[in-house]
Structure 1
Amino acid sequence: MYYIGIDLGTSAVKLLLVREDGGIENTVSKAYPVEYPHPGWSQQDPRVWWDAVRAGVRELIAGRDAALVRGIGCGGQMHGLVVLDADDAVIRPCILWNDGRTEAEVAYLNEEIGRDRISSLTGNIAFAGFTAPKLLWMRAHEPGEFARIAKIMLPKDYLSYQLTGVHATDFSDASGTLLLDVEHRRWSTEMLDICGVSEKQMPALLDGADAIGTVDPNVARQLGLPPGVTVAAGAGDNAAAAVGCGAVASGSCNISLGTSGTVFIPSDSFRVDAQNALHSFDYIEGRFHLMGCILSAASCSGWFLGDILRSEDFDAQERPVDPSRVSSDLPYFLPYLMGERSPHNDTSARGAFIGLRADTPRSDMVRAVREGVAFAIRDCVDVARAEGIEIRRSTLCGGGARSALMRQILASVLDIDLDLLQTEQGPGYGAAALAMVACKDQRDVQTCARDIARIKETVSPDPELTGAYEQRYRIWRQLYPALRPIYREMGESHEG
């Protein structure tokens, strides 16, 4: 049997054809553009996603027995605001997860409504990327379009709607809207009222391994699929990636280094950290998770090595770096290219190199970029550790994990073992696993994850590097507080 996993990313959609034993039969990727209409804004037309998926599915199953396809699961970018009118037509481009236009709306929610009140309603405070501030922004700046909203959806759920005709989401993705009462798994009536919308405009809530329905017969014919293919509710990208990496049970952890970077910590019980620096979200099958999210991870290397150095061979750029040479006088890098979410919640933060000298070689700047991402991940891990959560090892996934230099730096900075998977295909792989459960071909998600997620290699911290990085991290973590007033002044000057 085959299961299709869809990973709706920021720059491309990746589709996987997965066998029942967890093996990958085929993969297809379809790229699409991101619109940046103003500095700090990012958006996409959801119809572009569906066009890419339609073409991708046909290519994915070409030359194979399509009758063996049993289920489809979608994982994908979270927090995006997809709004449909009464005819289910897209009203405006989706405002993406890394869009920073909602600074005023975030301040209104956290300062006027109040952080404590917002946290009591949702388990979280407002961040610029979340969906609720985007609704407030749309109500203030696009009132005509706001009045036309009949359905509010998340990016991956737009794909599920196109497949099934059903408006539904899963608890993990809904958690990132700031409209969900995470602890009790229901839409928060008060938060909906604050944003000027109603529950009838929201999608139905399901567990990620629940079946939404089956692919519409007309759509199935267009895609070349057999009738009756089950569509799972799926999960937000980080929850789906954690499933695919086997990080399901309480006590596990998954770190993802994609465009953004995340630390994902499953839990059997609902909890909120003292500062609301981490996200308190639902997971699957009644579980919860804490998650730290940095907005720029692998994208930092893409920017520096690709855009600035004009290199397509990242390995060649990293080869001159001596990983054992770690000292406090090497340059530092702050990875806040799109502002920052965890733990600073600061849309005005920016990237920075600190400590450059006339004799600084390119290799030291390459190292600094990798270290800056590792230190930002460490910020999130330390918040969890301050809550008494022990993190002694973690699975590691995402494009940034392909760098041997990054893996060694991260293991030593965090002082934990990092497990790499034999099959690491991110959210799409976890989405396919959820489809297996939705089809009742696996008993539950934890069993399925255990069956398909197999470790191929473990990267352990170097004790000497861990000590040296402790000193560098101590200096690095002083840089953002020192620059914060300057960031704010830069932002005010830009607005003026």
Structure 2
Amino acid sequence: MTAREAILALDLGTTVCKAVLFGQAGEVLASAERRLAMRRTGDGGAEQDPETWWSAATAAVRAAVAGVPQVSLAAIALCAQRETLVPVDERMRPLHDAMLWLDARGSDLAVRWRERYGPALQDWTGLVPGAPYSAGKIHWWKQHRPEVASRARWYLQPKDDLVYRLTGRVATDVTLAARTLLYNARVRAWQPELLADLGIEERQLPPVLAPDEWVGEVTRDAAEAWGIPPGTPVLLGGGDRPCEVLGCALAPGEVMESSGTTSNVAAVTRDPRPGHPAVSATPHVVPGQWVWELGLAGTGAGLEWLGAWVVEAPHGWADLDRRLSASRPGAGGLLALPFFLGARAPRWSPEAGGALVGLRGTQGSPDVVRAVAEGLAYELNAALGALRAAGVRVEAVRVTGGLARSSVWNRIKASVYRCPVRQGQVAYGAAFGAFLLTARRLGWPVDDKTARRWNPVVREYLPDPAWVRLYQTGYQVYEEVYRRLSPAFSALAAYRRLSEEASPHNPTNALNPDDGLC
């Protein structure tokens, strides 16, 4: 039997690492995934053991390639989570657990830089200054772990770490460099003022290459670990978000909404300047194009928190649909502000906290789940509004990510957005985008029309007129509640910090049944 030529795409996400084998017709030959754990700290931190990136990737790849023995591996395509950072020493050993993109520590740097540099900061970096970016993590290590910062030879994002382990080469790509708050993507250079202010040297940051460059070949050690041929070429690839945008194969008038651990709305353009203060611009993996985007905080993460602490956890999107269907539209008058990890775009309020408003004794756990899902839809609608205000034509929204398969949530969003919501055939959006980029680099006949044919719309959700009227009112109430609660977020954040510092119990003042008080 003649071996089929294939590309192995690896998507190293925040909570899941996916390995997907794609054939020459864009078909999925095999796939596997492995979970990644994260650790929350009591001071707003979120960390991950960087060794698990390689172990999860190894397990996922071995499982995927074992399912299709008759394959000739043409290349490896890479994409990964952005902004997450790990410091390594001269021997490439981690000096500290990686600080994830959702780690809020170090956010004071963005505040200070916004005050010091004003509009120039966003003009240089293309980013709305905030907590997620890599610079804040370096700042935190310098302030709180100086012994780590003093020994750091390199600061690497997750894909950079994979590239080194696969090929022995240290390199990053422009889509990742542009998410550090240190890189000027328009001139393709690290911004010297910001490096000097942070107190690091350019040599501590990886060389920046184009996403469609061949970065090297798989070493013998890496090949043995993954169960693939040594010498397999590796395409550098890009961040998960621009790869998802490419994988969605957007038609004119479509924008992307990706919802998994978090949510993001994005549009493709050739203009590096959005002209809207809430919209970030980062280079696309496609040369000459830019992605205008707004990243929200804690979509899937918020639903997981809800499941763990408030109601019984939904198990997958089908169970989520069942729970959403058990509550009527509007969740019985219950409204949620879904700021479980603070508010990112378009509000950029890191001290914002989540809230349930309108609780009554007639409501049950399905109403809580639905209120959160509706609140997330309202917040996504606010982000789409910022894209529209920046001049983007939003005629339909193409959904991808783990939560894209929730049909009830898609119906809710279509009515909140007041435009069609479209679900594509390919479940692995970022991996598919990395595959397309690599296929084009190999010279396979892949253009935009081919990509749309390989990832067609399989289901379209249209706005329900009755739901539209309800959700128009709901969105107005949502914005009013946010406006009224917003002044209290700073005080609530201070109260939360006091609570985090307090002892969990005080035995000397504990109530005693004999006191007659309990």
Query: Relative to structure 1, is the Cα distance of residues 237 and 308 closer, same or farther in structure 2, using a 3 angstrom cutoff?
Result: same
User: Displacement of 1:439 after TM fit?
Assistant: 2.9
TM-score by length of 1: 0.93
Number of equivalences? 489
TM-score by length of 2: 0.89
Partner of 1:282: 283
- Letter of the structure 2 residue corresponding to residue 477 of structure 1: E
- Letter of the structure 1 residue corresponding to residue 288 of structure 2: G
The 3-state SS of whatever aligns with 1:464 is helix
- Letter of the structure 1 residue corresponding to residue 350 of structure 2: T
User: Displacement of 1:400 after TM fit?
Assistant: 1.6
- The correspondence of residues 165-244 of structure 1 with structure 2, limited to 5 A, is 165-244=168-247
The more displaced of 284-293 and 225-234 is 225-234
Indicate conservation of the 8 Å contact 1:255/1:261, yes or no: yes
Partner of 1:79: 83
1:103 to 72, 85, 107: 107
- Letter of the structure 1 residue corresponding to residue 241 of structure 2: N
Query: Relative to structure 1, is the Cα distance of residues 298 and 37 closer, same or farther in structure 2, using a 3 angstrom cutoff?
Result: closer
Query: Relative to structure 1, is the Cα distance of residues 66 and 485 closer, same or farther in structure 2, using a 3 angstrom cutoff?
Result: farther
- Letter of the structure 2 residue corresponding to residue 19 of structure 1: G
- Letter of the structure 2 residue corresponding to residue 255 of structure 1: E
TM superposition outliers: structure 1 runs of 4+ over 6 Å: none
Indicate conservation of the 8 Å contact 1:7/1:75, yes or no: yes
CA RMSD of aligned residues (A): 2.0
% identity of equivalent residues: 27
User: Displacement of 1:394 after TM fit?
Assistant: 2.0
Matches of 1:431 and 1:448, distance apart in 2: 15
Partner of 1:163: 166
Partner of 1:68: 72
Indicate conservation of the 8 Å contact 2:321/2:408, yes or no: no
Partner of 1:382: 385
Partner of 1:410: 413
Matches of 1:9 and 1:480, distance apart in 2: 31
Matches of 1:28 and 1:280, distance apart in 2: 32
- Structure whose CA Rg is larger: 2
Indicate conservation of the 8 Å contact 1:124/1:279, yes or no: yes
User: Displacement of 1:222 after TM fit?
Assistant: 2.7
User: Displacement of 1:117 after TM fit?
Assistant: 2.5
1:320 to 306, 319, 326: 326
- Letter of the structure 2 residue corresponding to residue 157 of structure 1: D
Q: Structure 2: 5+ residue runs without aligned partners?
A: 499-518
User: Displacement of 1:166 after TM fit?
Assistant: 1.5
User: Displacement of 1:150 after TM fit?
Assistant: 1.5
Matches of 2:119 and 2:69, distance apart in 1: 54
The more displaced of 331-340 and 425-434 is 425-434
Query: Relative to structure 1, is the Cα distance of residues 404 and 489 closer, same or farther in structure 2, using a 3 angstrom cutoff?
Result: same
Matches of 2:164 and 2:279, distance apart in 1: 30
Matches of 1:10 and 1:388, distance apart in 2: 31
User: Displacement of 1:268 after TM fit?
Assistant: 1.2
Matches of 2:442 and 2:206, distance apart in 1: 22
Q: Deviations over 1:260-288 (max 9, x none)?
A: 0000111011123332x122111121211
Q: Deviations over 1:305-341 (max 9, x none)?
A: 454322433333223233xx449x7111011111121
Q: Deviations over 1:219-273 (max 9, x none)?
A: 11332212321211112111111111113x7754110111100001110111233
Query: Relative to structure 1, is the Cα distance of residues 439 and 66 closer, same or farther in structure 2, using a 3 angstrom cutoff?
Result: farther
Matches of 1:78 and 1:390, distance apart in 2: 26
2:273 to 263, 266, 271: 271
